[in-house]
Amino acid sequence: MQKTALKRPEVLAPAGTLEKLKTAIHYGADAVYIGGDAYGLRSRAGNFSFEEMAEGVAFANEHKAKVYVAANMVTHEGNEKGAGDFFRTLRDIGISAVIVSDPALIEICATEAPGLPIHLSTQASATNYETLEFWREEGLERVVLAREVSMEELAEIRKNTSIQIEAFIHGAMCISYSGRCTLSNHMSMRDANRGGCSQSCRWKYELFDMPFAKEHRSLTENGEVTEEFSMSAVDMSMIEHIPDLVQNGVDSLKIEGRMKSIHYVSTVANVYKTAIDSYMADPENYVLKQEWVDELWKVAQRELSTGFYYHTPTENEQLFGPRRKIPVYQFIGEVLSYDESSGIATIRQRNHFSVGDEIEFYGPNFEHFHQNVMEMKNEDDESIDRAPNPMMIVTMPVAQVVKPGDMIRRKKPEVTK
């Protein structure tokens, strides 16, 4: 029996700003997802104007990449006003698809902006192939699975539907069902399902004894908040399970994080592109490299797990109590230019660094090297021993050839108690 050829999945990266869009594509993303000024779930992200979308689409087209727009809010009465014009404008700009959860917005897009592909958002909580088939028959091109789907369920879904499947493979997990949470509404009067989530699940909580008509009393030691009690989930990372995702026919591997930095976007897109390319080049002899795992930890903000893919999360997939020690790296700059004759790089500073620091350069295609900062100069060609000012331009000798867009990080000094 002839084996079915494996299909290379799309690496789909978040892009909260135009800079992040260009960075993600530069570092290997096949597609990015962004938000507009309306109908999305990240009101605090650097959402795109139509002009910025047009520039982003032009850049993506130049690099054979795609741009999707998230319009996945839950609409209350009146929220849908103007949606037809919004979707038509996206179509005319050249957006590759919109990501929608609300049936009202899906209907408006389908009827008023024909020709604009629609993807079902993870907010719609699609967890079985019958649901995917329903949306396929409604004309949708792709479904973003709920994060609660297991790998076993994913395999069954793929066997029973031809619609494109998109699945989250890295980033933050929501403690509520596929993000459909009202904690933020109750605790800060910000509607999570209309773009205002205040991440109440990430707050620190304490346990109290509250006897009737008596003053409440803390049940934790000395009344100190020790994070013994939490609703905060650890983040997801599927870097160690690329073969399972590809073999089970996932069409798009989605990275969470539209509000994350270009350091995060460049690192995570770079790692997953490298791993996927390695697997597709030789599936039979594919080997997970520890350096890929280590690289992801350099931008990790929380512990990492595989979410719901292999088991129902336990207390080990929640954040509370003493945390594991994680190597913490700091993004300190990006290369603007490099003079090969002199070996001098021009760098835009993003966080302070000093002469004597050991720094790491990295670029697309997983190119890395370390060196110490031996000397540097400011824009007036004056020697300086540190670069403390945000976005300042410095020059410094670099041991190897670097390119515009390469990033620089350093490991933070360990804090001793």
347-373: per-residue pLDDT in tens? 999 999 999 999 999 999 899 999 999
d(CA 140, CA 110): 9
Q: What's the pTM?
A: 0.90
- Same fold yes or no, 10-176+233-317 and 329-411: no
| Amino acid letter, residue 155 | A
Q: Model confidence at 185, in pLDDT bands (50, 70, 90)? A: confident
Please say whether the beta carbons of 240 and 170 come within 8 A: no
Q: For residue 1, what pLDDT is reported?
A: 35
Give Dmax (Cα) for the chain. Answer: 79
Q: For residue 45, what pLDDT is reported?
A: 52
Q: Model confidence at 187, in pLDDT bands (50, 70, 90)? A: confident
Architecture category of domain 329-411 in CATH:
Beta Barrel (2.40)
Read off the pLDDT of each residue in 397-412 and give the average, rounded to a whole number: 95
Residue 257 pLDDT more than 70?
yes
Domain ranges for the chain: 10-176+233-317, 329-411
Q: For residue 204, what pLDDT is reported?
A: 75
Average pLDDT, the chain: 90
Q: For residue 179, what pLDDT is reported?
A: 67
Does the domain formed by 10-176+233-317 have CATH 3.20.20.70?
A: yes
Please say whether the beta carbons of 258 and 15 come within 8 A: yes
Q: For residue 183, what pLDDT is reported?
A: 79
**What residues form DSSP beta bridges with 99?**
70, 119
Read off the pLDDT of each residue in 263-267 and give the average, rounded to a whole number: 97
**Angle at 351 (CA atoms; ends 232, 299), nearest 5 degrees:** 35
d(CA 264, CA 250): 23
Read off the pLDDT of each residue in 174-183 and give the average, rounded to a whole number: 76
Q: For residue 387, what pLDDT is reported?
A: 96
